[in-house]
Every structure is written in C-alpha cells, then in structure tokens.
Structure 1
Amino acid sequence: MADRSIGTPEQLRDPNYTPPLAKAVPLGIQHVLAMFVSNVTPAIIVCGAAGFGFGSNSPDFPEMIYMIQMSMFFAGIATLFQTVGIGPVGARLPIVQGTSFAFIPIMIPLVAGQGVEAMSVLMGGVLVGGLFHAVLGLFIGKVRFALPPLVTGLVVMMIGLALVKVGIQYAAGGVPAIGTPEYGSLQNWTVAGTVIVATLGLKFFARGMLSVSAVLLGLLAGYAVAWAFGMVSFAAVGRAAIVALPDPFHFGIEFSVAAIIGFCLMAFVSAVETVGDVSGITKGGAGREATDREIEGATYADGFGTAISGVFGALPNTSFSQNVGLIAMTGVMSRHVVTIGAVFLILCGLVPKVGAVISTVPIEVLGGGVIVMFGMVVAAGISMLSDVHWNRRNMVIFAIALSLGLGLQLEPQALQYLPETVKVLATSGILPAALIAIVLNLLLPKDLAAEATEEVSGGLAGHGGGSMPGK
C-alpha cells in the first residue's frame, strides 16, 4: 500500500508528480537495489563464457571490471531515455532499464572460449540489434498478434532453461574450475546454499524492502560465509581507478552475420516484453491502459539505449519486470523517482572501484543467486503459459517447438555439418523454438483448436476448455 505522506492518491498515480526529496531519494535507490544484481550478472556470465577476467591476477581482469562498470552506467542512461525522454524516444513513465538476461543464450555461443577478442563481434551485434529494436517502435503494436502467450511464454521459459546450467556450474565452482578437485566441493555448495536459503527466507518471511531486495541480501549473506572461508580477495579494489569515463569502441567493433541475426531476432522478443512491462506499469500504478505513444516511445528507448551501449562496450538493455512489481507495491507512479535511481546508477558506473568490489564476489556466491534468478525466469514463462488455451493445436505447437529448441541446445553436435553461422543460431535453443512456435501458430488452422486434447495429453488438459488441472 502506498504511503499517503508521499502525496495524495491522485498525485501518486501521476507520472509527472515529484514526491518530496526526502521520500523520492530512498524510493529511487530502492529501484536500483531491486535490479542491481540482475543488471551486472550478465556481464560476469559473458566474461566467464569467453574465458577472461576471473582472478585479480588475470591480465584481462580490468576488461571485466570495465564491462561491469558500463552495465551500470548505460542502464542509467537507458533509464533516463525512458523517464525523461528525448523527442519521440522514451515512454515518460517510471521504467527501469537494465542489462537483459534474454540475450545471454545468444551471446554465449558467439564468445565461448574466445577471450576478450570476441567482444568486438558481440558489440557489432549489440549495435545493429539495438538499431533494429528501435525501428520496431514504428510498428510493434501491429505485430503483437504473432506473439500470443503460447509463444512469449515458451520463449521466456526457454531463456531460463538455457541458463540454469550456468547457475549450477557457478555454484559448484565456476566454468573455469570444471575438472579441478575443488569443483563441486562441500565448501562451494555451502556458500551457494547459504545464498539460496537466505534469499528464500527473506522473500517469503520478510516484508517491504527486505523482501524486494531478497536476492541482493542473500548474496551478501553468502558473501559473508565465503569471506569466513577465506574465499574473498580485495587485492583488485586498491588497484582500481577512482573515476573512469566510458571509452568509445573499447572492445572494437566487428559485424558478424550470426551475431546480427541473433541480436535482431531476440530484439523482437525483447520488444514484446517491454510492451508487457509498459502495460503492467500503467495498469498497476495508474489503473489505465498504456497509450500507443507510450508503447512506441518505450520501444525506441529500448533500442537506442542498447545501440549506445554497444558503442561503449556494454550489453543490451531492456525494461526490468521486477521494478514493475515494485511500482505496484509502493503505489508511487512518479517517473522522477526512477530518474533519481538512474542518476545513482550512472554515478556508480563512473567509479571503477564499485565494479572492482562487485568482482570480489566469489563465483560460488553468484551461482547461488543466479540459480534463484534463472529459476524465476523459467517460472515466469510457465506463468505466462497458464494463460494459454491448452487444446490439441496449441499442445502440438508447444511440444514441437520445445523438443527441437531444447534438444538442439543440449546436443549442438547434431548440427555439426551446418555452416557455422546457422549452427550458432540454431543451437542457442531459443531462436529455433521461437521461430517454430511463431510459424506454426500462424499457419496451423484455427479450427484444430476446437478439437479434443485427451489423445495427446492423457486427459490432463481436458478441464474446462483447456485450463490447467485443478483450477
């Protein structure tokens, strides 16, 4: 419930209202805390997949620090695009932007084991994908019909399924540690388990900000245990600069067909997610539907925020759904509150020591956190799928898309004779699953939807027009 001391009910529902500064600043920082871990985690995962940056003695360690730093800085810049706006860019709503998990399954095959040199290909994909994302703002409303909950729920679930392996590897000791005696040790799992238990305890038994920041506080609990075990080193913090500015084309830029196609296709999915977030904010915070202008502006901001990130060595940005829920919880619709949070992110991004402190978090601690986060991504997809009318037609579409998408991801060598570009895209799992679901949903006749489902489901979906059992 909203704090009425912040403003009247009418003011709290107005995006242009500015609460008293003493209230607005804590509310803005609260938005940052809710998204902070999710925002910097993709940079760490991508660096780990590429095989650089881990360990303060690594020659490429400063490159990981830079990417963490830019994740914060450009999340703040992209958020300002949404809250303040520039011309048609921005929804002028309290939308928090951050580095997107959705692109990780696309990025990992592009950089796997190739070191910091592979970042140039990634940045080319981020730049072109961001510009394509911005163009989608011209007609995003007209193509939403092609992405019903059957497709979007499947895609979100596939994103989570593609990442859960990373969470387990990190909890056990990290991808570089696979095959070492310490990998999977009781100490590693004790640290990761502390994060999971603390996160769940706070999420379900605490209230207010303690519940909202459960993942962050869970990581701090795991960090304390890791420190007690002697797993934390602050050597890199002292060497990090106090202030550093973004560096254009820091990793260089290279345009790869596989990267461009992958980022553009995922931009389409991300754009639809943003439409959902904008609608969620206006419904939860203002009790109304989002306007076409707000949806278009939000899509433009997503795209341009991502494109600029690519120029300076950061990863794709998108709207953060957890902050949509935070607005519904606080009842404060002010975009200026989120602007304060954006400024805080930008300031953090200018201080490499902040990135250096984040880099001291042991991989096992991060593993415990991402197990929870990636599991929640899968759960979010399943929640979206609960809105699907589970008739035979939709079950067949889902079954084929899931089987091929997940199967190719689990067994990439099945496509070893395909050209490298096609292989990278197909073995991501997400893209083939999404394309199959979209195409089948558009082509299969709708009259199949009226037919019974028992022959393919064993009767489990034959409840009240295809609703989930027990509902």
Structure 2
Amino acid sequence: MTSSSIGTPDQLRDPDYTPPLAKAIPLGIQHVLAMFVSNVTPAIIVAGAAGFGFGSNSPDFPELLYMIQMSMVFAGIATLLQTVSAGPVGARLPIVQGTSFAFLPIMIPLVAGKGVDGLAALFTGVIVGGIFHALLGTVIGRIRFALPPLVTGLVVTLIGLALVKVGIQYAAGGVPAMDKPEYGSLLNWSAAVIVIMVTLGLKFFARGMLSVSAVLVGLIVGYVYAIAIGMLPLSAIGGSWERAAAFALPQPFKYGVEFSAAAIIGFCLMAFVSAVETVGDVSGITKGGAGREATDNEIRGATFADGVGSAIAGFFGALPNTSFSQNVGLVAMTGVMSRHVVTYGAIFLIVCGLVPKVGAIIRTIPIEVLGGGVIVMFGMVVAAGISMLSDVHWNRRNMVIFAIALSIGLGLQLEPRAVQYLPDSLRILMTSGLLPAAFIAIFLNLVLPAELSEESTDEVSGGLSGRGDSTTPGV
C-alpha cells in the first residue's frame, strides 16, 4: 500500500486527516501488529516471576489470562487518550501506547515468588506512579536538562541488560524447569533459534507489513514448529481455548490495595525515564511524519496521557503504559501521519482484549518459543540505549560518570545479596540497579563541572582508546 494511494502529501502530513476507511483500518492493524508481542510480553514475564503456573490446568491460569487481557485493553485505551485526547490529556498525534519494558526490573523483585499476594502492592504502585507521571507533564520542559543522553542512554542500556537473562532462561526452558534434565536441551533451544532466524530474515529481507511484524511472524512460525515436534500438544491449546470465556470486562481493584514504599518510589522514579522516552517519541513522530518540531502542548499532552493511561490501567490490574518507539518508525516508513489510523488500531486492540480466548491462545505459546522473541526484543533495548549513548561527548568527565553509575547499577543486578541486610523496600530499589545508577548519573552530571580537563581519556580507559604515545601511557 503506497502513501500516494492514500492521500495528497499535505493530507498525509496532517494528523487530523482521515484516510478512506478501507485503507485506514489495515494501516491501523499494522500498528497493532508492530507492537503486539512487546505489549503482552511484560505481563507474561511478571506472571512468571510471581510464580504463576502456565498450564491451562493451573489454578493461576485465570490470573495470567486476565493480565494478558488487560495489557491489550488498556494499551488500546491509553492510545485513544493520545489520538482522540480528553482536554489537555493527549497529544492528538498518532502515538501508540503499550506496556513498558522499562518497569520490569522494578516489578519483578516486587512480585518474585509471591503469587497473587504480590499484585496488590504492584498495581497500587502503578496507580500512584501514573498520577505522578501525569504531574510531570506540567514541568517536563523544565526537567529535561537533568536527563541528557548520558543519563537516559545509561538507564535504557541497563534496562536491557537486566532483562537479557530472562530471554536466555526462557529459551532454555523457563525458570520452573531449571532443576529438570531438559533445561537447556537442544530441543528447547531449537524452538528459540527458529524464532530468531525467521525474525532476522524478515526484518532484513522482507518489506512492508512482513518486516514491521517480523517478531510476531517469527513467534507464529515457532509456534507451528513447537506443535510439529510435539513440544505443544494440541490438547493443551484446546484446553486453554475451552477454559477461557468468550467475553469479559475489566474488574476494578481486582487484586486489592496495598501501599508499598518500594513500589511507589520505584514507579515514581521510573516515570522520569518513561517521560523522557515519550518526549523523544513525540519529537520523532512530528519530524518523521510532518517534518516539524513537536510543540510544547503536544509534549505536555503526551506526558499527561502517559500518566493518566498508566493510572487507569493500574486501577483495573494492568501494567503501566508508555509510547512505543517501534510505531514511531512505522509512521516515518508509511508516511501517514493520521491520528485516526492509530485510533482504529486502538479500537481493534481493545476488542481483542475483551475476548479472553485471544489471551488464552497467546498463553499457549511455549516458553522456549517466547524466549526467541524476547532475546530479540531485549537485545534491541540494549541497542537503543547504546544508540542514545552515541550522542554523548565522551570526555574524561562523562566517562567517569558513566563508569561509576554502570559499575554500581550492573553490579547490584548481578549480585543482589550485596545489599541483603537493607530494609525490604530499599533492597528492592537497590537490586533493580536502575535507580541507583540513574541517581548517581543525574547527581554527578549536575555537580561535576563541565570544564573538567579533556587532555586525555586514557586515564580512565587504561589506554584502550589508542590515544597518546604508546611509550608514555596517559599522555
């Protein structure tokens, strides 16, 4: 589908333009396909961390199904807030919202091994964090100075590094299978490798919708492969389908209310990162789709919608939402700036979320197949962070800031027992690695003078940069 067949160049750059319905709906569904897997994956990971059983006969099956269902419903509702808007809430731009990976390193320790009992504190934190996120919209323009690429790139990189372990565990058979002989078997890895190979092949050699939805198609191929080799019995698919209802509505405060300092502080602090990501996505959409800078009202409205959408989601037992960067690229690729196209996609997402049988089929994806997709997605998060860091001027000052923040943040992720004697709330925040790293980077960036000598970075890098005379290190 070419952009010229949809409208004139001026129309395509106009967010308020509505393409013909027969073309707008497929374009909207294309946006959903681009974000679908990334949107539901965090719910599956959080459920796994909580210790939910993944089989259709598990007593936790309805809870897992509900979390997947809510991921779709409230991603759609948050997207509508952006495209249709409600007063000052929403940018009135083609911004797609979805469940954010950024919060996973905070959420996993909060629910680890607690089952349903850990969800009350989690979703209360989502609500409070969402309200705080919305309030950031009033000051977002004035706090951006404290979050340069050095800080945001570091945090995004650490998010990816914290999650790559999950992808490897899933590909090997999942955490519950760690003590079983089949964990890490070639059979398990074969399913993950199939997904990775198909995803990479489509991403690099296909075009249009196939390229955009490469991860989704890779998972479908891996799913069929798992059925073919007997990894996924057809009876399991039938059991999940039969056990799921045909229609279900969200339930307010399904898991109750519990105020946890770790959850509230964690979600509020991570809101800064999410807000900065949204500012970048809004700017990317207006530049790529309309060839202009984003206005203050658009940035403010987008941040409001991020927070309000997350708060509403938490109220009904869904995870926090943020703008999805992959859909920013899709706007630039298609050349269609219409917000109404994304509105149709949001409605499609909500409808899917209200039908639990859709979530039931998603839940039957073998953990090894999902691992292949997760390895790709989390690797891309690391790559996105490194891309942000490429904008940093790597003088001695910035290298020291990065080195200290990364060492402490990554070190705490790798060795959480190092702070085992801290109070529970503080321990959870510290072992995420993200928050201490972000705090150190922000603090040092604000207090260290920008005029620090740039004579040589070899003093920090140990001569690895190749600068200076080889016989006189550091000169």
TM over 0.5: yes
Structure-2 residue corresponding to 1:265: 269
Distance 1:2 1:328 in 2: 13
Distance 1:254 1:392 in 2: 45
Distance 1:439 1:394 in 2: 12
Structure-2 residue corresponding to 1:97: 97
Do 2:412 and 2:418's aligned partners in 1 also have CA atoms closer than 8 Å? yes
Structure-1 residue corresponding to 2:470: none
**Residue of 313, 327, 332 corresponding to 1:309:** 313
Structure-2 residue corresponding to 1:380: 384
Cα deviation per residue 1:400-439 (whole Å; 9 max; x = unaligned)?
0000000011101111111111110000011111111000
Structure-2 residue corresponding to 1:38: 38
- Give SS of 2:322's match: strand
**1:3 counterpart = 2:37:** no
Structure-2 residue corresponding to 1:189: 189
Structure-2 residue corresponding to 1:279: 283
- Give SS of 1:98's match: strand
Shift of 1:461: 4.8
Do 2:408 and 2:437's aligned partners in 1 also have CA atoms closer than 8 Å? yes
Structure-2 residue corresponding to 1:466: none
Do 1:126 and 1:307's aligned partners in 2 also have CA atoms closer than 8 Å? yes
Structure-1 residue corresponding to 2:349: 345
Do 2:56 and 2:243's aligned partners in 1 also have CA atoms closer than 8 Å? no
| Counterpart AA for 1:410 | L
- Give SS of 1:402's match: helix
* TM-score (normalised: structure 2): 0.96
Shift of 1:459: 4.9
**Residue of 429, 432, 436 corresponding to 2:436:** 432
Do 1:394 and 1:449's aligned partners in 2 also have CA atoms closer than 8 Å? no
**1:368 counterpart = 2:372:** yes
**1:230 counterpart = 2:234:** no
% identical aligned pairs: 79
- Give SS of 2:98's match: strand
Shift of 1:449: 5.5
Structure-2 residue corresponding to 1:243: 247
- Give SS of 2:101's match: coil
**Residue of 298, 301, 317 corresponding to 1:297:** 301
Distance 1:208 1:460 in 2: 42
Count of residue correspondences: 464
Distance 1:451 1:437 in 2: 22
Cα deviation per residue 1:1-26 (whole Å; 9 max; x = unaligned)?
95201000000000000001111000
| Aligned alpha-carbon RMSD (Å) | 1.3
Structure-1 residue corresponding to 2:163: 163
- Give SS of 1:318's match: strand
**1:148 counterpart = 2:148:** yes
Do 2:96 and 2:327's aligned partners in 1 also have CA atoms closer than 8 Å? yes
Shift of 1:452: 2.3
Distance 2:418 2:427 in 1: 9
- Give SS of 1:91's match: coil
Shift of 1:462: 7.3
| Counterpart AA for 1:257 | A
| Counterpart AA for 1:406 | L
Shift of 1:337: 0.1
- Counterparts of 1:374-413 in structure 2 under 5 Å? 374-413=378-417
Distance 1:107 1:16 in 2: 37
Structure-2 residue corresponding to 1:414: 418
Do 1:2 and 1:329's aligned partners in 2 also have CA atoms closer than 8 Å? no
| Counterpart AA for 2:265 | I
- Give SS of 1:406's match: helix
- The structure-2 alpha-carbon separation of the partners of 1:330 and 1:211, relative to structure 1 and needing over 3 Å to count, comes to same
| Counterpart AA for 2:400 | V
- Give SS of 1:448's match: coil
| Counterpart AA for 1:56 | S
Unaligned ranges ≥5, structure 2: 468-475
* TM-score (normalised: structure 1): 0.97
Shift of 1:451: 3.7
Structure-2 residue corresponding to 1:59: 59
| Counterpart AA for 2:129 | G
Distance 1:300 1:384 in 2: 24
Unaligned ranges ≥5, structure 1: 464-471
